[in-house]
Amino acid sequence: MFRYSIVLLAFLILSCKDVTINDPPPDSGWYIQNSGVSANLKSVFFLDNLTGFAVGNNSTILKTTDGGINWQPRNSGLSGQNLYSVIFTGNNNGVAVGFNGTVIKTTDEGNTWNIANTPVNTLLTSVTFTDQTTLIAAGYQGVIIKSTDSGSNWFSVTTPTSLDLLGICRVPNSSELYVSAVGGNIYYSNDGGNFWFTIYSGITDNLYSIYFHDTFTGYSCGQNGRVIKTTNSGNNWITLNSGTNYVLSSVYFKNNQTGYVVGDYGTIIKSTNGGLTWTKIQTVTSNYLRKIFFYGLNYAWAVGENGTIIYSNTP
């Protein structure tokens, strides 16, 4: 009996010796990356599968050149303002936006950043681009601002609302733009953000993110586990069964069938049939995930509260 116990103990020790806190749950495919910060991270963007950026509270900017194995802080030039969104229009030129109308710009692949002048002092929540030099940012109180010189100078655009705008996206290979907002409101521009029209989603939940895979097919997500879909350019929206009531903050479809949504309590849900059904993926964090980003079809990152960065190369 004693000999049997020793053999059993040795087996258990050998079985457990390779387990680390960064191992994903079975079949998860997601791994924790060490950001080196505790600030809440709100946005992430990658230029390729190696070079990427994350931004967040307390003027945090992080850069990686090895796919997120190591993240290094960069000086934003700010004094504590929270950053909400980051995007690059090329390998060198990028902008980040945030609190109190803040816009900062880089022209050297994110190594140094300079403050740009903007005509607003409200929170800017999201930014996108239509070409190499044209950027559009959306924010609270119905604010939309636009730059046509890669983010150096900005001007205000008239919008049909004073509601808080929460997410913005560009339809691929077009000048069409969509903005999601509080109260289930959605706004649309077909001319690169100069003129905007109201779209009715049929719901009243706040919509934190919006994504269009092509001219016709788009998705938005938000409060109370809400995910909605359109297949006719936003004219009509249907509610999808996400399988959760948690706040959902970011949606992305890597093709016309396979998409992901992330949100509170480390939630990641996946659909492989255009949103008809969703599967909850076991994740490696319980922190609120704010943004998901894909580079190509096989590399994905999500960022969130308390410096959380997670990564998958088999999503």
Each residue's pLDDT tens digit, 283-302? 899 999 999 999 999 999 99
Distance CA(310)–CA(103), nearest Å, equals 26
Residue 5 has pLDDT above 80, yes or no: no
Average pLDDT over every residue of 133-140: 98
Residue 16: exposure state from Cβ atoms within 10 A (0-12, 13-18, ≥19): exposed
119's tokens: 């005509």
Residue 315 pLDDT grade (very low, low, confident, very high; cuts 50, 70, 90): confident
Q: What is the pLDDT of residues 67-94, one digit of tens each?
A: 999 999 999 999 999 999 999 998 899 9
Residue 282 pLDDT grade (very low, low, confident, very high; cuts 50, 70, 90): confident
Phi, psi (rounded to 5 degrees) for 99: -60, 140
Q: Which pLDDT belongs to residue 28?
A: 66
Residue 143 has pLDDT above 50, yes or no: yes
266's tokens: 């480390």
Distance CA(157)–CA(228), nearest Å, equals 27
Residue 19 has pLDDT above 90, yes or no: no
291: closest CA among 281, 300, 282?
A: 300
| DSSP tag of 281 | P
Contacts of 164 (CB under 8 A, 6+ apart): 125, 139, 140, 141, 142, 181, 182
- The percent of residues above 70 in pLDDT, for the chain, comes to 91
Question: What domains can be seen in the chain, in order of their start residue?
Answer: 39-312 (2.130.10.10)
Average pLDDT, the chain: 92
Higher-confidence residue of 18 and 121: namely: 121
Average pLDDT over every residue of 210-226: 97
* 242 touches 199 (CB < 8 A): no
Residue 6 has pLDDT above 50, yes or no: no
